[in-house]
Amino acid sequence: MVWDASGREASHHAARYPHHRASADQAAAMAMNSSFGRAYQRLWAANALSAVGTGMTTAALPLLASIKPPSELLLGTIAAAGLLPGVLLAVPAGLVADRYDRGRVLVVADLGRAVVVAAAAIALLLGSLPGFVLAAITFLIGAGETVFITASQSAIPSFVAADQLDDANGRLQAADDVGREFVGPPLGSLIFRLATWIPFVADAVSYLVSAVLLLRLPRTPPAPVTELHQRPTMAPAWAYFRSSRTLVVLGGAMFTLSLCGSAVLAMLVLLVRNQFSLDVGWFGPALTVIACGATLAGLLAGRLRARIPARWAISGAVAVNGLSYVALGTTMMWPIAAVALFAWGFAVTLGNITSVGIRQRVIPGDLIGRVMGIFRAALGAGGVIGALGSGVLADATSVSTVATVAGLLQLPVVAALAFGLPPGTGDVQQARRDDTPAPTT
């Protein structure tokens, strides 16, 4: 996904948002090179490494829960606990990302998660963990991830040129998917059988090494202030969000998609066991199949976006994603399920990359952390509702019903994105045609 930012667009952007000038000059210099700068490469390497550890924990937590008497409500609660920080902490995380150096924020988020998973490993080494503790661990890991993702997405526009954003986001997403779902889960499932605490130790080490890599990121200046001692607030970010048709439509769509996706993901381990009559050990490989599709989408995102307008790319991705959920809920044949899982990963990743690229182009640099926080809050709220609702719905009906309903709910989202997003959305030249000037602090 590559857009050509003309010189007129770049100068227009710098004139309207002078606080972007240093970042724009840095990005222009990077654009002269065939590869991304060292800052982005460090962020990519740190993200790829920690993603492997996170993938191990992602597989280990539901496996720990499944050791106890199987409970759809417990699985739904654990899934919701991981998403709840997106509701409670996304806005504060956005404020932090705009107020402090984003590289240091990333380091603190990694160190915090390392402490949590290390403590979990010690507890498992000494005994076992009850369900409410598993939910608490999931919540704390999700809190660190909320801060990390917000700061990371806010920092990327400072490291790469505007016309490289989609490619940069795609590579970062591909590395994250490979580690979090392709390498981490099957490895986590394997070493979980050796000892339940080993995946958590490995995860802690990955976070520590990631933090070391991120320590050498260039410092990013905080958002400018208009008065002495004044700190960034959410008021201008919220005003900008509401004034932008692009962001309002995209925010509503992402809330619904998060609701549907978390509902299906929360029940996936039971779909594997009950719907497809497989051992729970296949839960890790199921995540790996999703990651295969996600990785391919990450690698191809730049090329696809160069040929497909953003609103058609994201609406098409949502349509494919909805069909994959319906297939998972209606088939009992594992080959069809495997195709649906692959399509799920491909569609969600392409849609996410397109969505993030649109936001990074539309949102001014001094507001990006806070507006991204609003999106993270919407995603978290949808995720919590979906995860908790999936447990209730599955308990009343079946896990297959959860997947089918989630797929059908995405049909109106397809229409909203296809006809609600302004023409040219996602193109560098059209980035702010439908938006009003940004209020700043």
Domain map (residue ranges) of the chain: 7-430
Confidence of residue 7 (pLDDT cuts 50, 70, 90): very low
| Whether pLDDT at 279 is above 50 | yes
Q: What is the pLDDT of residues 318-333, one digit of tens each?
A: 999 999 999 999 988 8
Query: Model's pTM, two decimal places?
Result: 0.69
| Whether pLDDT at 251 is above 90 | yes
CA separation for the pair 179, 197 (Å, rounded): 19
Q: What percent of the chain is helix, strand and coil (3-state, nearest 5)?
A: 80, 0, 20
Q: What is the pLDDT of residues 341-351, one digit of tens each?
A: 999 999 998 99
Q: What is the pLDDT of residues 219-237, one digit of tens each?
A: 766 555 544 446 678 889 9
Mean pLDDT over residues 268-280, rounded?
75
Right CATH for 7-430 from 1.20.1250.20, 3.40.50.1110, 1.10.1470.10, 3.40.50.720: 1.20.1250.20
CA separation for the pair 230, 248 (Å, rounded): 28
Confidence of residue 214 (pLDDT cuts 50, 70, 90): very high
DSSP 179: I
| Angle value at C-alpha 88, between 180 and 231, nearest 5 degrees | 105
CA separation for the pair 430, 259 (Å, rounded): 30
| Whether pLDDT at 22 is above 70 | no
The whole-number pLDDT of residue 207 equals 96
More confident residue, 373 or 429: 373
| Whether pLDDT at 1 is above 80 | no
| All residues at 6 or more sequence positions from 328 whose CB lies less than 8 Å from its CB, including other chains | 264, 271, 275, 337, 340, 341, 344, 400, 403, 407
Q: Lowest mean pLDDT: which of 12-16, 106-110, 125-129? A: 12-16
CA separation for the pair 26, 212 (Å, rounded): 24
Amino acid letter, 152: S
| 8 Å CB contact between 95 and 188 | no
Confidence of residue 153 (pLDDT cuts 50, 70, 90): confident
Confidence of residue 295 (pLDDT cuts 50, 70, 90): confident
Q: What percent of the chain has pLDDT over 70?
A: 83
| 8 Å CB contact between 312 and 384 | no
Q: Output the CA–CA distances (angstroms, integers) from residue 13 to 240, 363, 407, 436, in the order listed.
A: 16, 11, 39, 13
| Whether pLDDT at 145 is above 60 | yes
CA separation for the pair 115, 93 (Å, rounded): 19
DSSP 216: T
| 8 Å CB contact between 209 and 412 | no
Start-to-end Cα distance in the chain = 32
Helices (H) and strands (E) in the chain, counts: 19, 0
DSSP 436: P
Three-class DSSP category at 425: coil
| All residues at 6 or more sequence positions from 397 whose CB lies less than 8 Å from its CB, including other chains | none
3 phi and psi angles, rounded to 5 deg: -115, 145
The whole-number pLDDT of residue 431 equals 42
Three-class DSSP category at 68: coil
Mean pLDDT over residues 179-204, rounded?
86
Token pair recorded at residue 354: 């397109």
- Evaluated on CA atoms 375, 381, 384, 389, the torsion sign reads negative
Mean pLDDT over residues 114-132, rounded?
90
| 8 Å CB contact between 405 and 330 | no
Task: Compute how many other C-beta atoms are within 10 angstroms of the C-beta atom of residue 435.
Answer: 17
